[in-house]
Amino acid sequence: MPEVTDGSTAQLLIDFAYLVTGVCFIMGLRYMNTPKTARLGNSISILGMVIALVATGFNLDWSNAWWIALIGLGAGAAVGIYAARAVKMTAMPQMVAIFNGAGGGAAAMVASAEFLKQLGIDGNSVPIDVGITSVLTAIIGAISFTGSIIAFLKLQEVMTGRPIVYPGQQIVNALLALIAIAGLVLVALNVDTVPAFFTAIVAAAILGVLFVLPIGGADMPVIISLLNSFTGLAAALTGFALGNNVLIISGALVGASGTLLTLMMGKAMNRSVTNVLFGAFGAVKKTEGGPAEHTGSGVVRESSVDDVATMLAYARQVIVVPGYGMAVAQAQHSVRELADQLEKKGVEVKYAIHPVAGRMPGHMNVLLAEANVPYPALYDMDDINPEFPRTDVALIIGANDVTNPDARSSPSSPIYGMPILDVDKAQQVVVLKRSMKPGFAGIDNPLYELPNTSMLFGDAKSSIDKLVGAVKGL
């Protein structure tokens, strides 16, 4: 690499280009404040990336290993673009996880290379700032890399989505974290620098695997967001290690975004992030839940397709409450068709989206947008809850815990305090459900036993298709 000395004109121009990139990224995110301008925002962000890459290209001596860049870029672009086009919207969380892991892994490797480059002639000492920032990058990047891979495997159902717990889990995790921190300290003190550095990476990589193992499927929105913020942090730290501002700015933006989303998701489940990470939800539930919690009358009213169709067709306002079950049944297109039919009959149809309705933040919105549901019809929990008392029918499709009134009223319930959609306040509640089996968390839902609730059992997609036919016939 031709060392462009600090202060040269070339370096000034490159640094200026990086500044432009930073501005593009910020503006790009800013334009995501409404769906109308979001695409423009993403294009601005792409422009920023192109500027940064071109500027970097000028800084490189391409007579060196140009083919390394060519093969890496070519393969990365080909696989990335192919995967991005082929992926199903239901599989978006896994896709984001794997891209996230790729970024984290790359950051860890960049930091390792910089660390090796800065090793002194004795092959042991590194400048303290480079040492600390590169080992930190490597630790966080490695956690993000392996953690994202486990999250991917769980979401892709290559391995079980259930929490994997074993005795002493947290002690093992704590030990690994201690080893990584010890590595950091040794690097900072310039003692056995190289072995310390790589021991820290290995410990962090194992920790990444082990900390995602006990996370259940329903907690994935928190973990995906958290891993996102880790990778952002790793990218920013890479910037510190390389002395590169554009990496620092970009990483800081991503870190902020991931952190904010993590907190939002935690709040939507009424759980702290520590509780998600160390609580192993499933295990806790089994001991706390159970028949003793039973608060309802025990009687459920089963309804028929024709009855429900009539109820919907003669309503003024219907609110659809989609849950992950709807996505699993691939029913979103049928749901939109039903909404179209109802709108033809003058019924107002809105969608109530709970923040953790999918497997990642905003997942349900994307699934419905894909099915051509216009975004103004999609409402957040806070905006839609006041609407329920004015609503004739709340149609619940594959959602369970987020509609459980016990979260509001029963302090003994394991989900007590979780913000829910107030569907029980609607005039009529229709629940589409495969069977009376309790939801993911295994908690009874007294909503099903309310006098204004009727159940329509069966596969969500075929039930809705039948409803579409019945509404058409009215």
Partner 1 sequence: MNAFHLLSELTVFVLAVFVGLEVISKVPATLHTPLMSATNAIHGIVLVGALLIAVVAEPKLGPVLSVLVVFLASLNVFGGYVVTQRMLAMFKPRQTPAQANAAADGAKK
Residues 132-191 touching partner 1, rule: CB under 8 A, are none
Alpha helices in 189-269 (DSSP H): 193-212, 220-242, 245-268
Q: Is 22 in the site for partner 1 (CB under 8 A)?
A: yes
User: Are the C-beta atoms of residues 392 and 316 closer than 8 Å to each other?
Assistant: yes
- Nearer Cβ to partner 1 (217/414): 217
Min dist. Cβ of residue 156 to partner 1 (A): 16
Give burial (CB, 10 Å; 0-12/13-18/19+) of 229: buried
Q: Is 4 in the site for partner 1 (CB under 8 A)?
A: no
Structure tokens at 197: 């550095």
Q: Is 245 in the site for partner 1 (CB under 8 A)?
A: yes
Give burial (CB, 10 Å; 0-12/13-18/19+) of 202: middle
* Residue-wise DSSP of 349-367: EEEEE-TTSSSSTTHHHHH
Residue of the chain from 90, 173, 250, 403 that contacts partner 1 (CB under 8 A): 250
Min dist. Cβ of residue 107 to partner 1 (A): 5
Q: Is 109 in the site for partner 1 (CB under 8 A)?
A: yes
Q: Which amino acid would we find at residue 429?
A: V
Q: Is 54 in the site for partner 1 (CB under 8 A)?
A: no
Q: Is 375 in the site for partner 1 (CB under 8 A)?
A: yes
Residues 418-457 touching partner 1, rule: CB under 8 A, are none
3-state secondary structure at position 379: strand
Min dist. Cβ of residue 458 to partner 1 (A): 26
Min dist. Cβ of residue 263 to partner 1 (A): 10
- Cβ contacts of residue 332 below 8 Å, gap of 6+? 322, 326, 367, 368, 370, 371, 373
- Nearer Cβ to partner 1 (172/366): 366
Q: Is 415 in the site for partner 1 (CB under 8 A)?
A: no
Q: Is 360 in the site for partner 1 (CB under 8 A)?
A: yes
Alpha carbon distance 62, 65 (integer Å): 7
CA atoms within 13 A on the CB side of 446: 17
Q: Considering CB under 8 A, how many residues would be counted as binding partner 1?
A: 119
- Nearer Cβ to partner 1 (53/191): 53
Q: What is the DSSP letter of 424?
A: G
Q: Is 291 in the site for partner 1 (CB under 8 A)?
A: no
CA distances from 92 to 38, 49, 56, 449 (A): 18, 22, 31, 35
Min dist. Cβ of residue 461 to partner 1 (A): 17
b/e map of 435-453 (b: 16 or more CB within 10 Å)? eeeebbbebbbbbbbbeeb
Is 122 labeled as catalytic in the residue annotation? no
Q: What is the DSSP letter of 291?
A: G
219, 401, 406, 444: the active-site residue:
401
Structure tokens at 340: 């179209």
Mask: binding to partner 1, 79-108, rule CB under 8 A, as x and -? Answer: xxx-xxx-x-x--x--xx--xx-xx-xxx-
Min dist. Cβ of residue 83 to partner 1 (A): 6
Stretch that binds partner 1, among 78-86, 284-292, 302-310, 453-461 (CB under 8 A): 78-86
- Nearer Cβ to partner 1 (83/175): 83
Residues 323-352 touching partner 1, rule: CB under 8 A, are 340, 343-344
Q: Is 198 in the site for partner 1 (CB under 8 A)?
A: no
Stretch that binds partner 1, among 24-32, 270-278, 286-294, 385-393 (CB under 8 A): 24-32
Catalytic residue set: 401
